[in-house]
Structure 1
Amino acid sequence: MAFAVPQIWRPVEGRINARGVSNNPLREGEREVIAWMAYDAVDGVDYGHVPYTRRPNGSPVFDDPEVFTGPVQPYDRFPGWLLVRILLDGLA
């Protein structure tokens, strides 16, 4: 299973603050991304993001995707994280 959710990210002190996408202009230091989480019963959980910008007409231009390879501790509202925890707790 995989989840992909558009978000606004702003790196702060080794962490990432995230908020929902809106029609308001980006604030200083913010960028739009598609945050994703993939879960496989054998391989476990993978996380990553795909940065993007918008053309003047609003259509997105995507950058290269990034898979997080270091230790990741998602916050409770990270896309799909709560659902995966519920599913895994149900299997225990």
Structure 2
Amino acid sequence: MDIWILLGLLAVWNGIVFGFYAVDKYKAVHHLWRIPEKVLLLLAVFAGGVGALVAGQVVHHKTRKWYFWLAWLVGLVVDFILIILIFHLL
């Protein structure tokens, strides 16, 4: 598989994670049914760290909770490991 396809998939995944955080922020502001925190945390940890961190900063969502910062950091590490693996294995 081409390196750029894999990097593109990682970027799309992070965009999807960003979308989940943005939708949850919208729902929070409008007092609607929310996306469970466990889902947001798992999305961040499973290679969505960049999207989650950017969403947290752009839409100011979940930035006061330490465990979200931890999940974002773990997700960033996973993202960087995947990028390194993509470039070294292909």
TM-score range normalised by the length of the shorter chain: under 0.3
Determine which structure has the larger strand proportion and give its number.
Answer: 1
- Structure number having the greater helix percentage: 2
Q: TM-score, normalization: structure 2?
A: 0.27
| TM-score (ref. length: structure 1) | 0.27
RCO comparison, higher one (Cα < 8 Å, 6+): 2
